[in-house]
Amino acid sequence: MYKALNYWVFGGFDAQKTPYEFVDFAAKKGLDGIELTVGDVLPIDITKEECEKIASYAKSKNVGLRTLASGGGWNCNIGGATKEERENAIAFTEKYLQIAKWIGAETILVVPGATRVAWDPSRPVIPYRQVWENAQASLKRLIPVAEKLGINIALENVWNRFLLSPLEWKFFLEEADSKFVGIYFDAGNACLNGRPQDYPEILGDRIKAVHLKNFEESDCAGGLHGFGDDLTKGVVDYKALFAELSKIGYKGPFTVEMIPFSRLPDLVLPDAALAEKVTDQLLAL
């Protein structure tokens, strides 16, 4: 079981820690890998030489770099309302794929689009069908790049009022029709509308990577505050989820992405103590 930690809890959203410091942390803790993030600690204009330098350093410490993530898709995504936004998102994702190739990753996380972003009223409300069609059209242009580079585009199940169940995901990924397009499955995110353990049977090898965090269903369904600062507190049934992933032969990464919205409005990242805590919890799973 490949266990990794996402960069944001360790280094924050404004890249306060270097990739090399993160590698050192992971090596010291005994993690199998780390998930670096593009658009902050890895600038979108990073060079091939710098990527190869990071990859070499990680290899020397026996720390994997199997996945990359980015938060850029919330403000500019492949399912966006305007052609300009979609063109910018496609250009970003092409560079993102190239960075993954240079650094030795196998999968990138991509936000597929959103009918509404509840916490950002500046973002437009878009009809469901339009997001679906826009995202599929963008993927048709990105798939040849992903196939040429051999990098997976893993679309994350996020709180975007879009692709709300494993069956919707199945239909969407079948329409994309490429073994290099799948889902970056986030167990905590899935709890709002269903049970994480129901996804593997339906999606099978379309699951390219897994994010782990927990979710507390206070007030029946809960809200952003349900994402706490503890992997063990919440409704995620790890035993059931891991059993279902084992049934489909999943061998991909398990990466903790810890953004404790339970601490809003006082959420502060990076959080060294939280990084230590959740790493120890992950290693104990």
Q: Average pLDDT, whole number, for the chain?
A: 97
Q: How far is CA 255 from CA 81, 112, 123, 211, in A?
A: 31, 20, 29, 5
**pLDDT over 80 (residue 220):** no
pLDDT tier, 219 (very low <50, low <70, confident <90, very high otherwise): confident
Q: Residues 216, 163, 204, 246: what is their CA dihedral angle, to the nearest 10 degrees?
A: -10
Q: In the predicted model, what is the mean pLDDT of residues 270-274? A: 97
Q: In the predicted model, what is the mean pLDDT of residues 28-34? A: 98
pLDDT tier, 109 (very low <50, low <70, confident <90, very high otherwise): very high
Range of the domain at 185: 2-284
Q: How far is CA 163 from CA 74, 110, 125, 129, 197, in A?
A: 15, 14, 15, 11, 17
Looking up residue 80, the CATH number of its domain turns out to be 3.20.20.150
Q: In the predicted model, what is the mean pLDDT of residues 189-215? A: 97
Q: Which range (129-143, 159-173, 215-229) has the least confidence? A: 215-229
Residue-wise pLDDT tens digits, 71-96? 999 999 999 999 999 999 999 999 99
In the prediction, which pLDDT does 215 show? 96
pLDDT tier, 223 (very low <50, low <70, confident <90, very high otherwise): confident
CB atoms within 10 A of CB 240: 13
Decide: residue 276, CB within 10 A, 0-12 exposed, 13-18 middle, 19+ buried.
middle
Overall pTM surpassing 0.95 (yes/no): yes
Q: In the predicted model, what is the mean pLDDT of residues 100-121? A: 96
In the prediction, which pLDDT does 222 show? 78
User: Do the beta carbons of residue 58 and residue 64 sit within 8 Å?
Assistant: yes
In the prediction, which pLDDT does 187 show? 98
pLDDT tier, 279 (very low <50, low <70, confident <90, very high otherwise): very high
Strand partners for 35: 6, 67
DSSP state of 104: T
- What whole-number percentage of the chain has pLDDT above 90? 95
The domain total for the chain is 1
Query: What percent of the residues of the chain are helix, what percent strand, and what percent coil, each to the nearest 5?
Result: 45, 15, 40
- Phi, psi for residue 157 in degrees, rounded to 5: -80, 105
Q: In the predicted model, what is the mean pLDDT of residues 20-31? A: 98
Instruction: Return contacts of 147-151, CB within 8 angstroms, 24+ apart.
Output: 147/178, 147/180, 149/97, 149/98, 149/100, 149/101, 150/101, 150/106, 150/180, 151/97, 151/100, 151/101, 151/105, 151/106, 151/107, 151/108, 151/180
In the prediction, which pLDDT does 118 show? 87
